[in-house]
Amino acid sequence: MQIIDRQKINNQIEDLRKKYGEDRSALMPILQDLQEIYGYLPDVVMQETAHAMGIHPVEVEGVASFYSFFRTKEKQGKYVIRLCQTISCDLAGKQNVARQMENELGIKFGETTKDGMFTLEYTNCLGMCDQGPAVMVNDRLFAKVDAEKAFRIITDCRRDFLKSDFPEVVPSDVKKAGPILDHGIKPVESLKKALAMPRSEIIATIRESGLKGRGGAGFPTAIKWQLAGAAKGDKKYVVCNADEGEPGTFKDRMLLYEETDLLLDGMTIGAYAVGAKKGFIYLRGEYLYMRKYLEKALEDRRTQKLLGGNILGYKEFNFDIEIRMGAGAYVCGEETALIESLEGYRGEPRNRPPFPVDTGFQGNPTIVNNVETFIDAALIISKGADWFNEHGTDKSKGMKIFSISGDCELPGIYEFPFGIKVSELLKEAGGINAKAVQIGGASGHCIARKDFHRTIAFEDIGSGGSIIVFGPDADMLQVAKNFLEFFVEESCGQCTPCREGNPKLLEGVELLEKGRCSVTYLNELKKLGETIQVASKCGLGQSSPNAFLSIVENFKSEILSPAVAGKLTKEEQYAR
């Protein structure tokens, strides 16, 4: 039996290696497909994969255990139900959905039903924050789930889920479009224009526009492209970061689906400018439902000679794009972790320098850009630098797509110029009663009313576009707790401040919750937070205490109130 099994597994692995390639970078997609077949990754499957790829089984297990979407212990249910545990879905009533699901299935989260039909899991941000609570069942997403809808979803699965009358793709909720979203540019227009330009001219136009990366860090796109273009190397790569894992961000989900052509134009323009022959779209595992759609778009472009050899008849311009799926690790949005993941390793951030523009995918020059950045670049080529930089501020040019969720009347996707005041944004989204706003997702800052006059721009409060609104009744300690739980879970564990520090902060929040945290200890926690910020290796750790620290600063009396409310004596409050 064992022998036959191994033979079968081997044949499957060989087929997958033909499909995805023979080198290490094929490991993730091979494991993803094997998990599809077996429902999990049994030891024997991992061993055979290692054997076929000529690596140690521990390597394969190391990769499988890193990503939350891989299962190595027990078979997952036929239907894996993942309920989003991010703060926006919390605010929208996640608890009721969770209770309904547990009752209906008779299992707890983290368990699988005895009949092997259902696995129930929590997951981090599903990118549906404006339409929460959100649930993912296998590769399908469901928005605005309440107890009744949860019941219907489970019933549908029991009957045969595929016949469900829920929509395949949850519609996007664009509340306000502007020059970017109302661009009026036809597919391929930008690409055609770009290919008639010298490569340096493309980058010069992007430079003139002042475009800075839309993924959050705001690095000037032209510099990145110029450095990769100038770097030595025959093999260069273009990577679209479609990992969109920042809690509260969902604009890339909309852009990937509704502006696919512009995105692919932007990536192809980038490839032409830097001299790349191959591109990847690193699509987060949570957006699996979009894969088929994107694959089809790529296939269509191949038939139209927009991808492949001699693109649009330009000799010597060969470029193709492959989609690679993430597997539920937020840290893989960090560009060097993303590259590690593409190469088939654990998504652990690298030291920098060297930078990806020089030493990226498999040691070759690589540009990694956000979905929105590529779209903006394509539009800038079509419409010119001035069209773009007439909006925004001096240091943050152009329009930005925002994802707004939480306690506001009109959650959804908004296009605003950089430099917009927080108060203006709240007015548009119907959130003027807000007591706090989290800007930039879990890694961003939580600001209070006194700071609503501040602007969203790289020189003031920078953001990849995630805005979560907290109403007058929001419990800020719970907000801090939610974000810290997120970081504790998502830290890759490579460096001590982030791995050990965040659980300490979370413990502190739990003490605060019980009213057992003294002011003195809170001050120590603050110092610890500041140490994590400066001593962590990558952006995840460096930004992980931001929310906690800003909540402590802005809502100190609120979070200390359990202690003040009589649980601690004055002496105890200042003890420790």
Ligand X SMILES: Cc1cc2nc3c(=O)[nH]c(=O)nc-3n(C[C@H](O)[C@H](O)[C@H](O)COP(=O)(O)O)c2cc1C
What does the binding site for ligand X look like in residue numbers (CB under 6 A)?
A: 213-217, 219, 241, 243-246, 331, 333-335, 368-370, 373, 538-540
96: Cα within 13 Å, side-chain hemisphere: 14
DSSP helix/strand/coil, 389 = helix
The H or E element spanning position 482 is: helix 476-490
Q: Read out DSSP for 397-444?
A: BSEEEEEEEESSSS-EEEEEETTEEHHHHHHHHT-TT-SEEEESGGGS
Q: How far apart are CA 105 and CA 155, in angstroms?
A: 10
Query: Does the protein bind other proteins through residue 373 (CB under 8 A)?
Result: no
Cβ 24 to other proteins shortest distance, Å = 22
Q: Is 57 helix (H, G, I), strand (E, B) or coil?
A: helix
Is the CB of residue 175 less than 8 Å from the CB of residue 412? yes
Nearer to ligand SF4, 378 or 442 (CB): 442
Cis peptide before 42 (omega within 30 of 0): no
Q: What pairing do the DSSP bridges indicate for beta strands 320-325 and 278-283?
A: parallel
Which residue pairs from 564-569 have beta carbons closer than 8 angstroms and sit at least 24 positions apart in sequence? 565/515, 567/514, 567/515, 567/516, 568/515, 568/516, 568/518
200 binds, options ligand X, ligand SF4, other proteins, none, Cβ within 5 to 8 A by partner type: other proteins
Among positions 344-373, residues that touch ligand SF4 (CB under 6 A) are 349
Least spacing, CB of residue 238 vs other proteins, in Å:
15
Tell me if residue 85 falls in helix, strand or coil. Answer: coil
> Of ligand SF4, ligand X, other proteins, none, which one does residue 90 interact with (CB within 5 to 8 Å by kind)?
none
Between strands 320-325 and 445-448, the pairing is unpaired
Q: Is 394 in the site for other proteins (CB under 8 A)?
A: no
Interaction of residue 197 with other proteins, rule CB under 8 A: no
Q: Quick one: which segment of 20-28, 88-96, 215-223, 485-493 binds ligand SF4 (CB under 6 A)?
A: 485-493
Contact with ligand SF4 (CB under 6 A) among 493, 500, 567, 576: 493
In the numeric block, which tokens belong to residue 175?
Answer: 């509340």
In the three-class reduction of DSSP (H, G, I as helix; E, B as strand; rest coil), residue 468 is classed as strand
406 contacts other proteins (rule: CB under 8 A): no
Q: Is 546 in the site for ligand SF4 (CB under 6 A)?
A: no
Distance CA 329, CA 331 (A): 5
| Number of residues near other proteins (by CB under 8 A) | 21
User: Residue by residue, what is the 3-state secondary structure of 123-166?
Assistant: ECCCCCHHHCCCEEECCEEECCCCHHHHHHHHHHHHHHHHHCCC
| Least spacing, CB of residue 90 vs ligand SF4, in Å | 23
| Pick 213 or 508: Cβ nearer ligand X | 213
Q: Please, which of residues 60-99 interact with ligand SF4 by CB under 6 A? A: none
Which CB atom, from 201 or from 299, has the smaller least distance to other proteins?
A: 201
- Distance between CA 521 and CA 506 in Å, rounded? 13
Choose the contact partner of 245 out of ligand SF4, ligand X, other proteins, none; CB within 5 to 8 A by kind.
Answer: ligand X
**Of 9, 231, 288, 420, the one binding other proteins by CB under 8 A:** 231
Closer to ligand X at the Cβ: 77 or 356? 356
User: Which residues in the 10-29 window bind ligand SF4 by CB under 6 A?
Assistant: none
Instruction: Tell me whether residue 51 or residue 504 sits nearer to ligand SF4 (CB atom).
Output: 504
Q: Using alpha carbons only, give the angle 93, 97, 101 rounded to the nearest 5 degrees.
A: 165
For 484-511, b/e burial (b = at least 16 CB within 10 A) is bbbbbebbbebbebbbebbeebbebbeb
Query: Quick one: what does residue 229 bind among ligand X, ligand SF4, other proteins, none, with the CB cut-off 5 to 8 Å set by partner type?
Result: other proteins
Question: Per CB under 8 A, which of residues 198..227 are in contact with other proteins?
Answer: 198-200, 204, 207, 220, 222-223, 226-227
* Residue 527: exposure state from Cβ atoms within 10 A (0-12, 13-18, ≥19): exposed
Q: Name the segment binding other proteins (CB under 8 A); options: 351-359, 447-455, 514-522, 542-550.
A: 351-359
Pick 417 or 497: Cβ nearer ligand SF4: 497
Query: Using CB distances below 5 to 8 A depending on partner kind, what does residue 358 bind out of ligand X, other proteins, ligand SF4, none?
Result: other proteins
Q: How far apart are CA 267 and CA 279, in angstroms?
A: 8
Q: Least distance (Å) from ligand SF4 to the CB of residue 494?
A: 4
Nearer to ligand SF4, 260 or 544 (CB): 544
CB 397 within 8 A of CB 211: yes
- Which of other proteins, ligand X, ligand SF4, none does residue 498 bind (CB under 5 to 8 Å by kind)? ligand SF4
Interacting residue with ligand SF4 among 494, 543, 550, 554 (CB under 6 A) = 494
Shortest distance in whole angstroms from residue 545 CB to ligand SF4: 11
Between 369 and 463, name the residue whose CB sits nearer to ligand X.
Answer: 369
Selected binder of ligand SF4 within 183, 214, 284, 537 (CB under 6 A): 537
Residue 409's CB is within 10 A of a number of other CB atoms, namely 10
Binding residues for ligand SF4 (CB under 6 A): 331, 349, 491-495, 498-499, 536-538, 540-541
Which residues of this protein are in contact with other proteins, per CB under 8 A?
A: 198-200, 204, 207, 220, 222-223, 226-227, 229-232, 275, 353-355, 357-359
